[in-house]
Amino acid sequence: EDKVVQSPLSLVVHEGDTVTLNCSYEVTNFRSLLWYKQEKKAPTFLFMLTSSGIEKKSGRLSSILDKKELSSILNITATQTGDSAIYLCAVPMIKAAGNKLTFGGGTRVLVKP
């Protein structure tokens, strides 16, 4: 059965710290892995990693895909209170009826001043 597992479940850091979030997956026909940030309401898209694009960076956020280890990490450097959120990763399952995303359980990050 395809699955996506995130760790840790939650963490608390102080402003300026660096955080590293993990996402591991077991899927057939891997195509891509996506990261989302969810603050109070709807998830918003951060990155998509594929076999041809295994590293992405945007400001203080960066993500790497390790296809050998079937995992990805999301790094946030110089954290700010605005980084407090749930971070979700997802992997598409390729189906004849159309792809569908399977999400991990999320990592809740709290950044204290």
List of residues contacting other proteins (CB under 8 A): 4, 6, 9, 31-32, 34, 41-45, 48, 88, 90-92, 94-95, 97-106
The Cα-based distances of 98 to 43, 57, 92, 93, 95 in angstroms read: 21, 29, 10, 9, 5
Q: Shortest approach of other proteins to residue 11 CB, angstroms?
A: 14
Q: Rank residues 12 and 94 by Cβ distance to other proteins and give the closer one.
A: 94
Q: Rank residues 70 and 101 by Cβ distance to other proteins and give the closer one.
A: 101
Q: Rank residues 21 and 90 by Cβ distance to other proteins and give the closer one.
A: 90
Q: Shortest approach of other proteins to residue 103 CB, angstroms?
A: 4
Q: Shortest approach of other proteins to residue 90 CB, angstroms?
A: 8
Q: Which of 30, 108, 40 is nearest to 69 (CA)?
A: 30
Distance of CA 85 to the CA centre of its chain: 12
> Do residues 74 and 27 lie in contact, with contact meaning Cβ atoms separated by under 8 Å?
no
3-state secondary structure of 69: coil
